[in-house]
């Protein structure tokens, strides 16, 4: 899948301490959110709703505690959140002030339980804000953030509370904790400490000031992204200029043009589902350059005296370095690695290994691309706007395929069948539509997920078709997190959200291979939550370290185009025949054709991240200087750019990613290694699938990911299989 992991990162909702820096969405692929913002603002104001009792004031009575989506109005959210925070704050004060000796039950467990009502409303807000076209949700955002900030300050500012947590942690050797209780104590202590709870009053005030400045800069950066939307489209009114475009992309562009006020024609935006397909299929080099420059320079159209992007980036990087130093870390990178399963040594070794392997293959790939460009009359140096197009052309030329040829096998309903077949083959799960359950939109379809013994695992919504006002990309929302209450498993509620092109009237709309992998990726996040079986919600499902959260999702991507599964769901939309062996071979080979260049560009993005966030306080380089250094070190061809990954500067500097691109690489390595076991024993091997469920998917963060990995794989992870699946190999060592 195209890696622009959404505007959202992983959702570690472990107490409100982390609500401001994390979200209730596990996301993976998104472009600019400017078009969604514009669509919201262009809509006429809504009629004020009739005032009714707030449906969020009481427990949700829907089956499986599904949120009352159909009843929620934006004005319900601030009132409900304020009430939940007020009650939680009172309870937290009582926990900190109690005279009873600190214990797991009266402190750590009590704190977790006190925070659940706050998290319940926050999850609902984050989820609805991403799928709704109601601009009232944008208006209330600053107020909700302020409520959460004050709550966070109250929580972290309680010295008495942190002292109780520390006493429990120090008493671990003398108390009969379960493995999961030990993990919850350790993670609670660690997150409080990472938030500065151990600092003295003066240093805590300094930290609070740094956090305030970072929050203000992040809001300014968000404002830059919102305002950077003019011009936010490439409008084309001549059909002859769209040669080679897939029908599904043209249909989407026609609808977008109408949404943006044109009487006809085609509009291409900076959304991932519009930008990347256009850059792949547009034969006009000039049009590709125009749209690319809109993407790259969209921030430079602003008033630099007020919102200079370079100034914002520099200040954020420096403040992060100062914050890390205050907390006792050498750099912001070291702060991030403190919450990861990979070490700096492992990361450096992995990057060195991958760089050597990528360079060896990239040279040959670049030469082939240059030959294709020369055939098109391109006699100057290949530029960034040529990269996606000639990568696509290389695939078509080497594999003898036509643009969009493979889409015939991937109708959306068949891809959904493929995901459900996979869950059945691996774990014996059944999916039953539940149309009577509340939903936020007619396009969002709820399913009850039933285990092989007949028990309900949870509810999953599929909302995968693009519509105006919906944020771009793909992600998984977690509205209710699995846990146990009164010895009974509480079922999770999740939603898979994407922006697949809607079909034109009477015409099929097949998906690309990348889009198929994207859906399987989000299905992996959903299964991580649905198969969770831990006692504490703070440790459930995707609430794992950042470099582990993408692993289950990337693992399920591997099945999307595996021959064993393709033969069960991929059918030609006209013939009804199952996918041909030729198509399967093309899908297998396509990833390897430009794997060296793709990996080299990904490494460049990670190294730019490390240059900016691996520097100590006072030594953070200017981003332009850092990028030149990365380009020089890697000898990066001009058409590649470190900014092509992670939606450019957006994800590197937005708080939601916070400078941790290496996490994705580590998850890719784990996924390749894990899938190698299924290649060896069989794609649906029942024993291996049960081990995957028992040791990885069901465990969440109830124990360290390193332990879970070794329980599943029996050894440490290796880069061998990541190299193998990409067709990369290390250069032979001289004698």
CA angle, residues 710, 711, 717, in degrees to nearest 5: 25
End-to-end CA distance of the chain: 40
**Token pair listed for 290:** 């125009």
Query: What band does 16 get if pLDDT is binned at 50, 70 and 90?
Result: very low
For residue 381, give Cα distances in angstroms to 130, 146, 294, 386, 640: 40, 50, 20, 10, 12
pLDDT of residue 50: 53
For residues 619 and 632, give the distance between their C-alpha atoms in angstroms, rounded to a whole number. Answer: 20
Q: Say if residue 15's pLDDT is above 60.
A: no
CATH topology for the 344-406+592-725 domain: 1.10.1370
Q: Among the residues of 478-622, which ranges form H helices? A: 513-530, 546-549, 551-560, 563-569, 581-590, 595-613
Largest Cα separation within the chain, whole Å, is: 81
String of b and e for 614-649 (b: at least 16 CB within 10 Å)?
bbbbeebeebeebbeebbeebebbebbbbbbbbbbb
Contact (CB, 8 A) for 7 and 27: yes
Choose among 629, 606, 622: nearest CA to 547.
Answer: 606
User: What's the CA dihedral at 253, 258, 261, 264 to 10 degrees?
Assistant: 80
Q: Say if residue 412's pLDDT is above 70.
A: yes
| % of the chain exceeding 70 in pLDDT | 86
Q: What are the pLDDT digits (tens) for 519-546? A: 999 999 999 999 999 999 999 999 999 8
For residues 708 and 700, give the distance between their C-alpha atoms in angstroms, rounded to a whole number. Answer: 9
Please indicate whether residue 579 or residue 11 has the higher confidence score (pLDDT): 579
Please indicate whether residue 404 or residue 641 has the higher confidence score (pLDDT): 641
String of b and e for 100-113 (b: at least 16 CB within 10 Å)?
eebebebbbbbbbb
| % of the chain exceeding 90 in pLDDT | 65
Task: Record the pTM.
Answer: 0.90
Q: What are the pLDDT digits (tens) for 253-276? A: 998 999 889 999 999 998 878 898
Place of tokens 């959404």: 6
DSSP 465: E
String of b and e for 42-65 (b: at least 16 CB within 10 Å)?
eeeeeeeeeeeebbbeeebebebb
Q: Say if residue 368's pLDDT is above 70.
A: yes
Contact (CB, 8 A) for 446 and 437: yes
Q: Say if residue 414's pLDDT is above 50.
A: yes
Q: Where are the domains of the chain?
A: 344-406+592-725
For residues 614 and 621, give the distance between their C-alpha atoms in angstroms, rounded to a whole number. Answer: 10
Q: Say if residue 151's pLDDT is above 50.
A: yes
pLDDT of residue 654: 41
- Do strands 456-465 and 493-500 pair parallel, antiparallel, or not at all (unpaired)? parallel
Q: Say if residue 192's pLDDT is above 50.
A: yes
**Token pair listed for 144:** 């909700």
Q: What are the pLDDT digits (tens) for 502-521? A: 877 667 788 989 999 999 99
Strand partners, 578: 571
Please indicate whether residue 162 or residue 217 has the higher confidence score (pLDDT): 162
Whether the CA torsion 234, 240, 244, 248 is positive or negative: it is: positive
**Token pair listed for 28:** 């993976």
For residues 3 and 272, give the distance between their C-alpha atoms in angstroms, rounded to a whole number. Answer: 10
3-state helix, strand, coil in the chain (%, to 5): 60, 10, 35
**Token pair listed for 688:** 């291996």
Query: What's the mean pLDDT in 649-657?
Result: 45
Contact (CB, 8 A) for 251 and 239: no
């Amino acid at each position: 899948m195209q890696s622009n992991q959404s505007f959202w990162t992983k959702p570690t909702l472990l107490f409100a301490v982390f609500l401001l820096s994390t979200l209730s969405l596990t996301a993976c692929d998104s472009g600019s959110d400017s078009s969604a913002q514009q669509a919201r603002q262009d809509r006429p104001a809504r009629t004020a709703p009739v005032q009714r009792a707030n449906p969020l004031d009481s427990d949700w009575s829907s089956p499986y505690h599904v949120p009352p989506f159909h009843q929620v109005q934006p004005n319900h959210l601030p009132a409900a959140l304020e009430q939940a925070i007020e009650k939680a704050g009172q309870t937290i004060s009582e926990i900190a002030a109690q005279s009873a000796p600190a214990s797991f039950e009266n402190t750590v467990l009590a704190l977790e339980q006190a925070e659940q009502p706050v998290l319940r409303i926050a999850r609902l807000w984050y989820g609805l804000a991403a799928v709704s076209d109601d601009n009232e949700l944008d208006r209330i955002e600053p107020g909700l953030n302020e409520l959460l900030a004050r709550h966070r300050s109250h929580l972290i500012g309680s010295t008495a509370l942190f002292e109780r947590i520390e006493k429990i942690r120090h008493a671990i050797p003398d108390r009969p904790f379960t493995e999961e209780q030990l993990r919850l104590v350790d993670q609670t202590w660690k997150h409080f400490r990472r938030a500065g709870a151990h600092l003295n009053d003066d240093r805590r005030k300094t930290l609070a000031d740094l956090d305030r400045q970072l929050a203000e800069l992040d809001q300014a950066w968000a404002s830059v992204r919102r305002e950077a939307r003019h011009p936010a489209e490439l409008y084309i009114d001549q059909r002859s200029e769209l040669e080679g475009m897939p029908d599904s992309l043209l249909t989407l562009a026609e609808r977008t043009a109408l949404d943006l006020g044109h009487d006809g024609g085609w509009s291409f935006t900076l959304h991932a589902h519009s930008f990347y397909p256009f850059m792949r299929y547009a034969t006009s080099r000039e049009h590709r350059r125009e749209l690319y420059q809109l993407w790259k320079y969209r921030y430079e159209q602003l008033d630099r005296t007020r919102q200079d992007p370079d100034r914002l980036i520099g200040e954020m990087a420096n403040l992060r370095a100062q914050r890390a130093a205050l907390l006792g870390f050498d750099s912001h990178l070291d702060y991030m690695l403190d919450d990861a399963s990979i070490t700096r040594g492992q990361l450096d070794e992995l990057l060195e290994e991958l760089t050597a392997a990528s360079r060896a293959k990239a040279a040959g790939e670049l030469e082939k691309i240059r030959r294709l460009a020369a055939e098109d009359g391109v006699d100057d140096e290949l530029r960034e706007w040529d990269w996606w197009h000639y990568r696509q052309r290389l695939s078509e030329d080497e594999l003898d395929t036509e643009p969009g040829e493979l889409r015939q096998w991937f109708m959306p309903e068949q891809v959904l069948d493929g995901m459900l077949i996979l869950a059945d083959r691996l774990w014996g799960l059944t999916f039953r539509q539940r149309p009577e359950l509340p939903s936020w939109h007619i396009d969002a379809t709820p399913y009850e997920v039933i285990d092989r013994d007949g028990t309900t695992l949870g509810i999953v919504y599929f909302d995968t078709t693009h519509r105006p006002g919906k944020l771009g990309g793909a992600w998984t929302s977690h509205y209710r997190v699995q846990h146990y209450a009164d010895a009974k498993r509480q079922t999770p509620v999740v939603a898979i959200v994407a922006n697949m092109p809607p079909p034109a009237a009477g015409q099929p709309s097949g998906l690309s291979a990348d889009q198929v992998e994207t859906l399987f990726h989000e299905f992996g996040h959903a299964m991580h939550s649905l198969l969770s079986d831990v006692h504490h919600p703070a440790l459930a499902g995707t609430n794992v370290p950042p470099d582990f959260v993408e692993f289950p999702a990337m693992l399920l991507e591997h099945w999307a185009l595996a021959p064993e599964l393709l033969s069960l769901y991929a059918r030609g939309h006209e013939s009804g025949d199952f996918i041909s062996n030729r198509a399967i071979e093309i899908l297998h080979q396509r990833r390897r054709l430009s794997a060296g260049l793709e990996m080299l560009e990904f490494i460049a993005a990670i190294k730019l991240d490390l240059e900016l966030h691996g520097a100590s306080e006072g030594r953070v380089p200017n981003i332009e200087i850092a990028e030149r250094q990365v380009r020089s070190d890697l000898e990066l061809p001009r058409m590649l750019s470190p900014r092509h990954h992670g939606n450019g500067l957006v994800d590197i500097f937005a708080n939601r990613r916070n400078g941790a691109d290496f996490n994705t690489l580590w998850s890719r390595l784990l996924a390749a290694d894990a899938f190698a076991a299924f290649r060896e024993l069989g794609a649906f091997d029942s024993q291996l699938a049960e081990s995957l469920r028992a040791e990885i998917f069901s465990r969440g963060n109830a124990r360290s990911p390193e332990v879970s990995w070794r329980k599943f794989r029996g050894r440490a992870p290796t880069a061998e299989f990541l190299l193998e699946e990409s067709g990369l190999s290390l250069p032979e060592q001289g004698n």
